[in-house]
Structure 1
């Protein structure tokens, strides 16, 4: 009775719904808001344009949030500050990429939710790095995250790793030559290259590293949150996870981890190892060499072992027949590579096929191609004993005389000697055999309609093991298959050098060369004659030109004297009033010209801003072209993808056009006064410089009051704002200020609108404060400043706008105050 109760409790534990929350966990959700940290790891986790969390990991997390009705708040976190954010309680949870589930004093890793391939990226013009050997003793960059670097250092001790804080730093180090490459995932680096319009990088898919794993990392001080997240992950169905996976990834860039049931995990924990039988001599598919399993099937089995985490113990056999016998007697749990037949189902179950190989007929090279194999009446054809297609071909081709062979090599040798007309095998076996010894004497002369569909054979009394291996077979990626096939099968072709053709081609080119030399010599003679005649003509022309020039100068001098006297008479006839008016107009024009010159003094900075904003869409367009080429080479180019890339390209070119229009309007001189918004002018000015300031981590904080409309010259006020803000930027860079901040405040004070612009750049020397509005006075180097910016700002505000511009030092910086009379303003 006790035994029955014990069995009941065990099964209750194994099959209990692990997604149901305890009362304590429900109370925790009710009383807490989870602060979710988001770093820029597109498409795994990032903030979208609406400043909402987005990406694969956040879609997974959203399923858990909706299921348990968890309250959350999004927190933007820098890659290098993750541990600091946990330590200070700024975040409770963050999607994190890592090499392994490493221990951390700050938090706990959830179950693995994704594997992301990582490869090497190098500069576009670097042709010296092709393999792992080429990066030995070289320096590569990788973003520093908890547990992300240790395994690479262990596996590749001869590579020097430079830890960086983010992708921007890694790319900068590569482009400046500080490192030879970057280790990164293509799906993470792609968005950075597009948004920052970075070109000049190329991927090296053959230099791949251990995949990164994606986890949900929770604060160690909140164990209830960890438990809730784990239960949520266990509740997500394979269908839900697959839909999110297909939404975000190409299958060759990332892969879902093997998802086993509690029953399957308990089975593997108890089993410890799996006994495996193989064909001991069937290359390139597999064989036993020095007591080890090698070949195509062996590479798949190694991948399966890694995913399951338990060893496959090889049970050695002398031949294929003995391997089949071992499975019948249950000495083996699985047969690595076998074809499904009705007879074998008596003692084996079969997974879905994971290798498909066409059947071909190999004959001597003298045999012409055979289009219909049924015409081979009474021909002796060899096929290996106990192979599945032995009985199938006997049944489908009764007119062919089938001769059993112990081994493929035996059959091919008999075909060479003429003892057999042909040997039946797969195209992979032929490729390997030709590569080893038979190329030149034999050929493929025909192809069967049938294919060899090879699966994993599992003993038919173990259905749980069959389910596990079906999941393993389904997890095989196209990239894995391609790599394994490339490693084992490559037919080598050798051609005899045709010396007769070589000498014919050489003689032809010698003849052409002689004709060219003869033609060249004739041309040289004619050129010398023409040069002599040309020199004589030029001498005559120069003499004539000098005479004409002297006469022309005499006439010009006479004309100038006449014009001068005429001008004097006209000037004397002008009245005093007209001269005064002209002088006033000249002064106005000079003042407008000085304003424009002040703008032009900032032209270098503005052109830099234009270049900064154009560099992104140009690089994105380059990346789109590279991605289309990559998709095409991978065979993944379809109509939807082309349409998406076309839409993205149009958006980028429209962005470039808008940028040019914005800057063109800024430099257009004002002809007439017009109504304009103070707030719009401030926002537009900041928009022009925003990207440039962000690249230097300069933050601009706006606190704008109720909007006011003013009648005047909008671009002149914009120029004043730009002069003041740019001076702050220069001060930040000169003084190397940490956390640089510019604050812009507007408010209405009785009869004026007041604009306050302050910074934390250290302020201005008190002895210089009274001089900064003087013309041509500057504290910058001669090549960095003209001394006109603040002088013209003063003229614009106080003369053109009848306002006032002041400056004073404040704590840690300086503050400019602009007063504009409200008598000329209208509320919007």
Structure 2
């Protein structure tokens, strides 16, 4: 591990130097490989180097229809030729055949070799030119919930027969049922057909999945610690060749190698996160990240004797694989202690936290990635709570320090909020009659009631709102915030759902109370008997009404279709298929009324396509219309489900963001601007958008809110367009 850390550090330094060399201000060319006089003499007398490799395998080395070599090894050999002056040729055959040719002097050496694959004493090795992680890949559905090495135990795992580090790989996998395959194609086909639970393969997976057209049917689960280090190997009397190749490999550097890897190994989008230079530099400078969690909030997350467990543990495992940087969990005993350690700078981030105005004074938040329904647990004899208003004046317990307290006290000021230390204390106080109710997440309360056998308490109601949880970083750490945002964005819906299913199935395992079971059986038997008697009596009546019901259903169905068509015509923009101005006006008024009623906030974005008239003039109105349709689709696919998006008129669009503060809205607007800027539209190429942002303030009506958004948009255009501006970035007095 220490050696790998040193190699990563060397790789980082080389990448930074390479980026510096690409700066236009630097006129210096990268230096060539520095060779000794004997090495130069050897190249002069041996200009052609012949290397052997195993059966041609894409993407490493393969031959096209004209029998020309292609692949990573061929391109990398071209780089070595540039550094040394050699001409490198390849011969392909079985490993035994090419090794015999090396022994007989017909070939100088071998490529694509791991030191453990052949007799090390028979060869002289170059430094490694390619390091490939072994990836555990699963069927896209991931029925077994495989995300870590523990999840793969006792499963059927596919491995190639000629895997170069088979012994190390087998030791790392542990107690699994290994199924050997002659090649990667057959192994991946078996995975798609669910004949095996998982497969181990290197990064050639991504190239092969494209060739087999199975990219949409498989997904990477996690990366093993075992990395294959591939070398060039030469005859024992050719140590000088190993030295020359090693110097060339060092001169080529990791950045050019990574460029070739990206070209030939085609990583999945969810792993190929596009980080900025600042983000890369930030990541290179970090040896590890330290994070804190809520230690008592299972199944979302919890501290299990110093070990992080729960949903966020699995999610962080995915993130760690993508960053290849270690995450260190800092255990705490309570949420209050977690927040204290965050304020003291001991944690780089908190895994789950809710944005509130008070917290935004010292924390910044990523896009939300977990929604939590908030429910109320009361004594078992309490009726179902259909209206939260009946809680006015009632004592409701909340865990101390949770954001629920700040948000609920603002939205429901008549509720008597009582802070408790943890969920156990809160439910106990309800059971003893000291509290009317206790509020927390549905899964957390249900699991606690089941595991601790609390029979006199039940879930009696829920709040209307779903509370969104994000990752939180220290206020002002914008680079880390951007990195975490990209990681959150890279979490696929399949991965998210699989993790949710994994823990929700645990949360709702039932603890059987046999007294209740007997009561249910008796009641069920009585009800069943009554139903049978009643059915005999009304059987004849049913026949008379069936025809009438069928007729009414048919008419109702036709009315529903007509109503939907009418509603669509009146609320949907005919060209883009999104909401029209009439519908947006209604949504804006509803959101304004809700904010005034509950003292919550929301934000709006006005989006204006830059130079749209020039688009129509240069490409024609038909191309302009198609561009508007594509633009609307792009924004629609990059908004939250709770956001309202519509066409305000012409090339102006509006996005309403419920429960969103100005800082969050500005962050979302900037991300949206970048997405639009990077997108290539079918007919009109690359285009940009200016965005004005405004957030609801006390006393606002739709006119004042829209005035500020329009003013923000005006300033965004004045700044040169392709810009985001918010109400806080200029002085503007609203006409009161």
Return the TM-score normalized by structure 1.
0.42
Higher alpha-carbon Rg = 1
